[in-house]
A and B are shown apart, each in its own frame.
Chain A
């Protein structure tokens, strides 16, 4: 009897849970309403079967429960009933499969007018590429990948020269434009998923896979990697912004072309020396850093990293958190470099500063640190040398007290929580891998050996 009640309650509870659950598909933002409809059909058919079979099961358990002296019916087979059940089941299956295949045919058949965007995955970041005026992407392959050619575009293919690159994890797409997404991986399997678009597909090294959709709603949507790609799989995030075609076109022209990224365009180091004097007051005239003033070492850092950080300070992306006391100081200082040319020159000057020896302040287990560092090394380089293509600054030679404070800030959300700080967002997830202070000390002890 308990079993009968339990079965009834489970059936009722399941149906109630289904209708009352606040956990359901995110609102659709693409043309794939047909997928939602197919799910609807499947829900009704399977739901009815679930309820009927289990209610009948509960009824049988109740009605035919053991009674002393009672004997079961004797009926080995009932061909007619079996044929009927087979027939009805087949009909149900066809009713689910047929619409599914029709929608799949639409997914397989990519519209002619769809515009192309390429998505390139790597541990644990996204990159994107749009064709230039010729409407064609240049050929690309992993053997072409280098620090200055992070997407592996074939340098001798003329079609690739005007391709526009996004070397970060944020993408913009125009509203209402059918979009054909070409997917490619530099290392392992990844999967490009935007839950609101409903469609997803793996990125496979060595081949190009495809999917298509038409964005139907403006807004910002999460890009997630949904194919296990190693330790920091869960931190491989990005955003797609669906914007008006005008805004999209404007944004597109701000992107560097492949040809542009191949020409160095750095500032004038000599001109930058003068402007550096006010920086040197805290950071030291050789950029050696000053622990007592909480000013980190600058010597050894690349110009692109200095430029980005100063811009972040200027735009309130860094240093705006109320607990980031030293960051708040820098916000004021960064305004001195409001002129982009001055900033470029200072950054160029800093990148010429001679490296100086630092003193270590933390103690930990370097071996344990080495195994923790594997994940960091994916972007920051095996020897902490930094990697422009991955937007990862140099770690080698940096003062450990500064790195420790930054890791702690990332963990606590003091740094990296600003919505526009795309790398900070990832660093928060990464820093949380270091579950204890001991982990941080071990890691820094290892970095100190570089």
Chain B
């Protein structure tokens, strides 16, 4: 008997029958994706509120009694950690990875549906443990999202007791959840592609998610071991990261550990983490641009290799976060060189996105606005990275607001613009309804212009030398009073951008109930997910037969064809032609 992979079987083992198995303990990748997505967005809103509180203190110091230095550091720390791990990583991979992988490669589900379900519930547990730290004595940790020891576990830092323990525990649980999900995504992409879906025909969204997941599987273990080692230092008095220390006038029992060892482990995870967030965003924005410009993505092969190259390179640049950490300065030569080399494939991606628009037929839909906004913000954020990556320029700029502005542009604003592009783009697929385009565009303008008003001036505070993670600047000889005016204006912009996200939430909820029916394939996209029999796709995704793939995902505006797109599952013989024309495919993909 012929072997049939689980993902291809029509009669799956997990066919849901009751409400609970359909929506709660669901093994359907689409439901799990939505569970991941909603949880991530809710916890992201917590982080958004925290950033608002932080900005209030910076913009209007001495105005808010309830923000003291401890709570300020706690807001900073929790904002950063939630946004990077529990929102971006979870939403991009757990959310979009789950939703898109089986649909875009023509599988019925993930290859390990039960493991997939466990992944979500473990992630939820990690979120609950994390949020619990707000309610323990001492509150959550205020060690900064980098959690550097010795500070993180000594009593000069808020949340040094319960807070840091829960944070490390939550991270460890998150990594377990990610590993279950990640193994699933990689195996599914490698093993469950439908007939004809070669690797070089996969949409770039899948390439981005695929490489990002591999990065995660290799990088998260470094965070896991450092979290466990720090827990040992905290709870069992080991000295992995703790040298001999005099804290608050008392000699501690630690001896011989290395704080810099933690930093190496942390950034060996932390730098790939940037690309764990960026690569899925790169992939998804490529697809949104191609669909709405009605043109193939420019230089597909180069785009794939750029994703792979960036992914591989991301493991040899980590110490550019540590130029002024006190590590041996000779490392600076190596890491500055690798860091600036990575700019080349990254720049190529930017060129190719813009060249995709060249001679296109650009529909300025809501997702397209966000995608084009992303090109702008990512160009800006990428270029400022060339300052910080060049070791000697990092000397004056490290630990200033320039760093804050840079990483928010490149891995805050930019991936979030892509997330919105993706949410609007795939909203009809997920819900079967169209969102309200007017509200969508309003949301775009507030978010795009507002975030630039926040972060462009912030770079200049950094040039000035204003340090990050300061509760209050106090008086100095070198910071003019006008800097405080600038800070206040940044805060106003930040509050407005925060409030503008309510437009998005209102739109999502309103449109589910009141939105127009989208019908199948409203964007006239080529990729498989839009070719399912039902929108939203039913459990098992496809009908009796799996789709068969005949081409890449980017056959837009092919000369000779009647329509300006040819779905991936359409064979050349079936393509409706212009009268009297033949199909002129230039390159076989």
Of residues 264 through 291 on chain B, the ones whose CB sits less than 8 Å from some CB of chain A are: none
A201 interfacial contact with B, CB 8 Å:
yes
Contacts of B473 in A (CB 8 A): 234
Contacts of B333 in A (CB 8 A): 101, 104-105
Contacts of A57 in B (CB 8 A): 354, 357, 372, 375-376
Q: Are A75 and B158 in contact (CB under 8 A)?
A: no
Q: Contacts A97-B390, A234-B472, A432-B62 given: A46-B384 contact, CB under 8 Å? A: yes
Q: Contacts A101-B336, A142-B243 given: A26-B478 contact, CB under 8 Å? A: yes
Q: Which of A143, A232, A234, A433 has the most CB of B within 10 A?
A: A234
Q: Are A64 and B361 in contact (CB under 8 A)?
A: yes
Query: Closest CB-CB distance, B328 to chain A, in whole Å?
Result: 9
Q: Contacts A26-B478, A206-B258 given: A50-B379 contact, CB under 8 Å? A: yes
Cα distance A170–B468 in the bound complex, in angstroms: 23
Q: Are B293 and A64 in contact (CB under 8 A)?
A: yes
Q: Are B354 and A142 in contact (CB under 8 A)?
A: no
Q: Are B359 and A72 in contact (CB under 8 A)?
A: yes
Query: Closest CB-CB distance, A49 to chain B, in whole Å?
Result: 6
Q: Are B393 and A38 in contact (CB under 8 A)?
A: yes
Contacts of B472 in A (CB 8 A): 234, 429, 432
Contacts of B464 in A (CB 8 A): 23-26, 195
- Which chain A residue has the least Cβ–Cβ distance from B469? A228
Contacts of B138 in A (CB 8 A): 371
Q: Are B150 and A187 in contact (CB under 8 A)?
A: yes
Of residues 110 through 151 on chain A, the ones whose CB sits less than 8 Å from some CB of chain B are: 122-124, 141-143, 145, 147
Of residues 310 through 340 on chain B, the ones whose CB sits less than 8 Å from some CB of chain A are: 324-326, 329-330, 332-333, 336-337, 340
Of residues 371 through 394 on chain A, the ones whose CB sits less than 8 Å from some CB of chain B are: 371, 374-375, 377-378, 381-382, 387, 389-390
Q: Are B396 and A46 in contact (CB under 8 A)?
A: no
Of residues 462 through 479 on chain B, the ones whose CB sits less than 8 Å from some CB of chain A are: 463-465, 467, 469-474, 476-478
Q: Are B155 and A374 in contact (CB under 8 A)?
A: yes
Query: Closest CB-CB distance, A306 to chain B, in whole Å?
Result: 21
Q: Are B298 and A75 in contact (CB under 8 A)?
A: yes
Query: Closest CB-CB distance, B376 to chain A, in whole Å?
Result: 6
Of residues 344 through 386 on chain B, the ones whose CB sits less than 8 Å from some CB of chain A are: 344, 347-348, 350-352, 354-355, 357-364, 369, 372, 375-376, 379-380, 383-384, 386
Cα distance A100–B247 in the bound complex, in angstroms: 38
Of residues 13 through 56 on chain A, the ones whose CB sits less than 8 Å from some CB of chain B are: 14, 17, 21-26, 32, 34-35, 38-39, 42, 45-46, 49-50, 53-54, 56
Binds B, one of A155-163, A216-224, A272-280, A326-334: A216-224
Q: Are A103 and B554 in contact (CB under 8 A)?
A: no
Interface of A is mostly: mixed
B157 interfacial contact with A, CB 8 Å:
yes
Q: Are B478 and A222 in contact (CB under 8 A)?
A: yes
B486 interfacial contact with A, CB 8 Å:
yes
Contacts of A50 in B (CB 8 A): 379-380, 383
Of residues 189 through 228 on chain A, the ones whose CB sits less than 8 Å from some CB of chain B are: 189, 191, 193, 195-196, 198-207, 209-210, 220-222, 224-228
Q: Are A231 and B157 in contact (CB under 8 A)?
A: yes
Of B245, B296, B340, B469, which is within 8 A of A205 by CB?
A: B245
Per-position 1/0 for B400-432, Cβ under 8 A of A: 100000000000000000000000000000000
A237 interfacial contact with B, CB 8 Å:
yes
Of B143, B256, B351, B354, which is within 8 A of A228 by CB?
A: B143
Contacts of B351 in A (CB 8 A): 53, 82, 85
Contacts of B256 in A (CB 8 A): 206
Q: Contacts A23-B486, A70-B361, A141-B244 given: A224-B156 contact, CB under 8 Å? A: no
Per-position 1/0 for A363-376, Cβ under 8 A of B: 00000000100110
Contacts of A256 in B (CB 8 A): none
Q: Are A3 and B364 in contact (CB under 8 A)?
A: yes
Per-position 1/0 for A324-349, Cβ under 8 A of B: 00000000000000000000000000
Q: Are A107 and B258 in contact (CB under 8 A)?
A: no
Q: Are A100 and B246 in contact (CB under 8 A)?
A: no
Q: Are B336 and A206 in contact (CB under 8 A)?
A: no
Of residues 439 through 480 on chain B, the ones whose CB sits less than 8 Å from some CB of chain A are: 445, 448-449, 452, 456-457, 460-461, 463-465, 467, 469-474, 476-478, 480
A259 interfacial contact with B, CB 8 Å:
no
Q: Contacts A201-B324, A428-B474 given: A232-B344 contact, CB under 8 Å? A: no
B483 interfacial contact with A, CB 8 Å:
yes
Cα distance A242–B196 in the bound complex, in angstroms: 73
Q: Are B474 and A75 in contact (CB under 8 A)?
A: no
B556 interfacial contact with A, CB 8 Å:
yes
A230 interfacial contact with B, CB 8 Å:
yes
B3 interfacial contact with A, CB 8 Å:
no
Query: Closest CB-CB distance, B227 to chain A, in whole Å?
Result: 18
Contacts of A210 in B (CB 8 A): 329
Contacts of B545 in A (CB 8 A): none
Binds A, one of B9-17, B67-75, B213-221: B67-75
Q: Are A188 and B480 in contact (CB under 8 A)?
A: no
Cα distance A390–B247 in the bound complex, in angstroms: 12
- Which chain B residue has the least Cβ–Cβ distance from A124? B156
Q: Are A22 and B396 in contact (CB under 8 A)?
A: no
Per-position 1/0 for A55-73, Cβ under 8 A of B: 0110011001111001111
Contacts of A229 in B (CB 8 A): 151, 156
Give how many B residues have a beta carbon under 8 Å from the other chain's beta carbons: 126
Q: Contacts A57-B372, A188-B154 given: A227-B399 contact, CB under 8 Å? A: yes
A263 interfacial contact with B, CB 8 Å:
no
- Which chain A residue has the least Cβ–Cβ distance from B448? A6
Query: Closest CB-CB distance, B343 to chain A, in whole Å?
Result: 6
Q: Are B150 and A77 in contact (CB under 8 A)?
A: no
Contacts of B143 in A (CB 8 A): 228
Q: Are A56 and B354 in contact (CB under 8 A)?
A: yes
Q: Are A78 and B364 in contact (CB under 8 A)?
A: no
- Which chain A residue has the least Cβ–Cβ distance from B449? A6
Q: Are B296 and A74 in contact (CB under 8 A)?
A: yes
Q: Contacts A54-B379, A123-B248 given: A86-B390 contact, CB under 8 Å? A: no
Cα distance A96–B130 in the bound complex, in angstroms: 42
Cα distance A381–B350 in the bound complex, in angstroms: 56
Query: Closest CB-CB distance, A65 to chain B, in whole Å?
Result: 5
A293 interfacial contact with B, CB 8 Å:
no
Q: Are A378 and B361 in contact (CB under 8 A)?
A: no
Q: Are B474 and A21 in contact (CB under 8 A)?
A: no
A265 interfacial contact with B, CB 8 Å:
no
B295 interfacial contact with A, CB 8 Å:
yes
Q: Contacts A66-B362, A82-B348, A200-B399 given: A220-B245 contact, CB under 8 Å? A: no
B79 interfacial contact with A, CB 8 Å:
no
Cα distance A222–B470 in the bound complex, in angstroms: 15
A90 interfacial contact with B, CB 8 Å:
yes
Contacts of A371 in B (CB 8 A): 138
B509 interfacial contact with A, CB 8 Å:
no
The 3 closest A-B pairs by CB, nearest first: A206-B243, A230-B156, A195-B465
Give 13 A-B contacts (CB < 8 Å), ordered by A residue. A23-B460, A23-B463, A42-B386, A65-B364, A73-B557, A75-B586, A93-B344, A93-B386, A188-B247, A207-B243, A225-B467, A228-B148, A234-B467
Residues in B lying within 8 Å of A, measured CB to CB: 62, 64-70, 73, 138, 142-144, 148, 150-151, 154-158, 243-251, 256-260, 293-296, 298-302, 324-326, 329-330, 332-333, 336-337, 340-341, 343-344, 347-348, 350-352, 354-355, 357-364, 369, 372, 375-376, 379-380, 383-384, 386-387, 390-393, 395-396, 398-400, 445, 448-449, 452, 456-457, 460-461, 463-465, 467, 469-474, 476-478, 480, 482-483, 486, 554, 556-559, 564, 584, 586-587, 589
Residues in A lying within 8 Å of B, measured CB to CB: 3, 6-7, 10, 14, 17, 21-26, 32, 34-35, 38-39, 42, 45-46, 49-50, 53-54, 56-57, 60-61, 64-67, 70-78, 81-82, 85-86, 89-90, 93, 96-97, 100-101, 103-105, 107-108, 122-124, 141-143, 145, 147, 152, 183, 186-189, 191, 193, 195-196, 198-207, 209-210, 220-222, 224-235, 237, 371, 374-375, 377-378, 381-382, 387, 389-390, 428-429, 432-433, 435-436, 439
